[in-house]
Structures are given as C-alpha cells and as structure tokens.
Amino acid sequence: MRVLHVIPTLEKGGAERLVLDLARSHKGDFGAMVKVVVLNTQNAYTDLSMGLDIEYIRSDVEFSPRGKDKVNLSEYEKVVDTFKPDIIHSHLVKAELVSKYNLRPGIKYITHWHGYHYQTNAPKFSELFTKSGIAQLLFIRKLRKIFAQKNISFLAISKHIKQYVVDRLKVSADRVRVIYNGFDETHFKREISTAPKDVFKLVSIGSFHPIKGQEFLIDVMKIIKAKGHSNFRLTLIGDGPQRKQLEQRTKENGVQNIVHFTGVINDPEKHLHGSHVYVHSALLEGFGLVIVEAMGCGLPVVATNGGGNAEIIKNGHDGYVIENRNAEEFAEKVIYLEEHPDIYAEFCSNSYESSKVYTLKKFSDNIYKYYQEILA
C-alpha cells in the first residue's frame, strides 16, 4: 500500500503531529510506503520527522470569483507521478484544494476533517452583497462541488465534526467515517506525579487565539483566589497573538503571581506529570488531542463544552464538562477535586483508563483498516 499525506505546514498543531505519528506507525507496523508532502518549508517537529519520507514543495490553488483560479500544481503533480500513491490522504483546507483540484482515476482520496475552518463559514447577512461575502459564497460552492465527487471519502475526528461536515459541506452522512484521534502513549503515560503536595497545579496547553478562550481560565483563577484558595497555580503552555492580552488580564485580575506562561515547549508531558488537573477552555473544539494526552498521564480534566471534547470526558467520572462557560461552576469543580483527595485519586485512575480508548496504536489500526476497506 502506498499512501501520500498532504498537509499545508508542519507548524505546531494537533493535525500536524498526528500526520507524523500516523506516517511512522503505518510504516513501522504495516510496512506501508508512506510519504508526507508539505506545502511550504515550515517544520516545528524536526525530531518527529526523523526517518520519514517528507518532501517540501511550493504548490497552491486560489479560487477566483471570476473563474480564473490561480493554480500552481507542477511540483505536487510531479510528486504524485513519481510516488504513484494508492491513497491520497489530505489534511486542512489548503491541502484539500491542492490534492483535489485534478482528481486522478485509480486513486482513492481521503479528506480528513480536523476541526473548524473559517473558509467554510457562511458570510453574515450584512456581508452577502459585499465583494468578500460574494467571494466566500463562491468559495464554499466550489468546495462543495469538489467534495461531491464519489472517489472522495471523509474522516471526521468526532461525531461533532461529522455533523459539521454534513452541514457545511453538504456531504451525505454515509460518506463520513468517525475515527477519534490517538495520542502517543509512549510519551504521554502515567508516572509518579512530581507535583508538589502543598500547591495544587492546573495546566492548559494550546495556542493563544480567541477560539481557545484562555481568558476564561484567568477569570477562573480570580474566583479561586477570591474564595481564599492561595495554593492554586495555573500554567498556560503555548503562544500566539493573544499572549500580551492574556498577560494583561492576569494583572487586571490580580492573579499575575499565580498564572505562569511558559511559551511553546517541546516536552509538555513533563508539565503534565508535574500538575494535578488539566483545564481546557476552548469555545469550539473538534476533539482535543491535548485532553487525551493529559488523561494518558493520569490527569482529571475540567473543560468547557466545545463540542467534540465533550465526547471524550465522562462527566463526574474522569473529569467535568462545564456548560455555558460558567466560570463560577468551573472554579467550584476544580476546588472540589483539591478538597476531596479520595475522589481526586479515583478520577486520576478513571482518566488513565479512559485514555486507553484513544491510543495512537488503536487510531493507527483503525485508519489502516479504513484504507483497506476503501481499496477493496
């Protein structure tokens, strides 16, 4: 079996890391011929890339409302001609445009939908008669026309995202298979906690963009502090355009001494092992790979309901899902776990057991079986 993955970049992100994990697993466990094509030269995962067949190319497609699309596919087409894949497995919208622009007979195509993409958002009513609004409508129409072709199959990372694909892209539900993401259990595994016993540490991992909602966690810390719990600490791992705003919010909330920013790090598992509870605040979350990684380390999870992440957490068993972004309730659940060590220990054990459903091994096996199914 020859599988070609196509992805826009290898910058920090769940989809990017998953592609590399999947390529390594299929190459090692099944002996598949696997190649990864990246549509620019960015690679934040040099270690994970070691030993993989990765090629960086310059190919792109830009849809034009006037029908004169800007197409530069020569390097991509050359890769396809040389590698001769049985399956082209694409990830994220730019890769969809490049890999689907000229579909070839005899090749099976898989669109892997990892989350929410602004390119598929319908314009607001006030934008319908603007140049940008019309361009957006035409873009969605062209995307739907591409995806209507029968030799394209779809993978969704959760039931929530499957419904998103059905609604936004007008794909029939029977063409969309749900396969939950998997985490590398060899890196994110339960170990004896190094977390200090006199400090209750919360940790969250994610890029600092509005959709991730970290300001909510800073508000939660303000509530916890106001309730007299001076031993709580929050570590925010990541970076992004909202970092300065988030740092300013900690000062406004008077929690700058108990909220710590690490920036981007290469070994998040060390911070997970040194913490007590994983907290997650995304407004929308297609799945939440970082959540199952935290569970694999034995951490209970307290999260707002972002959609797909609510399918992972068993409320009241291995964590809590907070509806309506209620910061007061969120704070109460975290405090409850700190004040009830027996319940906390039970949640830790349950969280670790729950994570076994989402291992990279199971994910890889399920994807490979799906490949075999569509090639049969």
- Rounded to whole angstroms, what are the CA distances from 316 to 49, 320, 336, 344? 38, 6, 12, 11
Quick one: DSSP state of residue 123?
Answer: P
Same domain, 59 and 92: yes
Same domain, 114 and 217: no
* Spatial contact of 210 and 249, defined as CB atoms under 8 Å apart: no
Same domain, 257 and 170: no
Domain total in the chain: 2
Instruction: Say what angle helices 289-296 and 341-355 make with each other, to 10 degrees.
Output: 120
Same domain, 171 and 300: no
Q: What is the Cα–Cα distance from 138 to 136, expressed in whole angstroms?
A: 5
pLDDT per residue over 206-259, tens digit each? 999 999 999 999 999 999 999 999 999 999 999 999 999 999 999 999 999 999
Identify the CA nearest to 110 among candidates 101, 118, 99.
Answer: 99
Same domain, 331 and 369: no
Q: Give the mean model confidence (pLDDT) for residues 350-361.
A: 95
User: How are strands ordered across the β-sheet holding 259-263?
Assistant: 259-263, 232-237, 200-205, 277-280, 301-304, 319-322
pLDDT per residue over 39-67, tens digit each? 998 898 988 899 999 999 999 988 776 66
Q: What is the pLDDT of residue 67?
A: 67
Same domain, 160 and 212: no
Q: What is the residue range of 255's domain?
A: 200-357
Identify the CATH number of the domain in which residue 280 sits. 3.40.50.2000
**Segments of 23-66 assigned E as strands:** 33-38, 53-56, 60-62
The helix/strand/coil state of 183 is strand
Residue 129 has pLDDT above 90, yes or no: no
Neighbours of 356 (CB within 10 A): 13
